[in-house]
Structures are given as C-alpha cells and as structure tokens.
Amino acid sequence: MPDFRDRAACRDAAVDPEWFFPTADPRAKTYKAEAARAKAVCGRCLVRSACLEAILAVPGPKDKDGITAGLDPEERDVIRVRRANQADRTRRAAPASSRRPVTV
Ligand code: SF4
C-alpha cells in the first residue's frame, strides 16, 4: 500500500533533514529565516494535506518539534484548537434529539 511519505518533497536528496529542525528559539529573529527553507519545501510538496492530517492526529503535547506540513508546532496547535472549537460548536448546534444515545 503506497504511503504518502513515499512522495514527500522532504525525502528529496537535495533536501537536508536538518532544515526541518531550526536551532533558534521560536521567539528569536533568526527562527523565521531558519524555518523558511523547510517551509518552502513543504510549500511545493504534493502530499502536504496528508502530511498535515497525519501530524494533527498526534496529540499536541507529543508534537513539539520541527517543521511539518509547512507549520511549526505552535502553528499546528492553533489548527488543533480551531478544529476542536469548531467541533464543539457543531456539537452544541446539533438538535438535542440528535445528541441522545441510540438505544436498541
Ligand atoms: S509537507 Fe513538508 S514535512 Fe510533510 S511530507 Fe511534505 S515536505 Fe515533508
């Protein structure tokens, strides 16, 4: 079964895996420049969506390193929170009858 990682742009021989792990503190001015190279690779990656879904499936506390799917850990957490809030709003907006457990 083909895996999306087989088509990952970051697996290209010209790409240094170290680019995906900036050494600067995320609050440092140099961080953006360091992260930019990895983000550029992700920007042209054909499997970015699958990569994003795979990394978002990892619980936030376990996803604290590196650039993945063009995003740093903080940016990925923003998406996790946004999705959780959206799911919560959707659940609250559902009619009460649809929230009842199905009994047989
Ligand atoms: S989106 Fe970025 S990290 Fe994900 S597979 Fe593509 S190049 Fe690699």
Which residues have a Cβ under 8 Å from the Cβ of 6 and sit 6 or more positions away?
Answer: none
Rounded CA separation 73/16 (Å): 19
CA 44 to chain centre: 16
Which residues have a Cβ under 8 Å from the Cβ of 30 and sit 6 or more positions away?
Answer: 24
Q: At what angle do helices 48-56 and 29-43 cross, to 10 degrees?
A: 120
Percentage with pLDDT > 90 across the chain: 81
Q: Which residues pair with 68 in a beta bridge?
A: 71
- Looking at residue 104, its pLDDT comes to 66
Using the predicted structure, report yes or no on whether residue 54 has a pLDDT greater than 80: yes
- Looking at residue 15, its pLDDT comes to 97
Q: Whose CA is nearest to atom 8 of ligand 1?
A: 10
pLDDT interval class at 102 (50, 70, 90): low
For 69-92, write each residue's pLDDT tens digit.
999 999 999 999 999 999 999 999
Rounded CA separation 61/64 (Å): 7
Cα of 88 from ligand 1 centre, angstroms = 29
Cα of 50 from ligand 1 centre, angstroms = 9
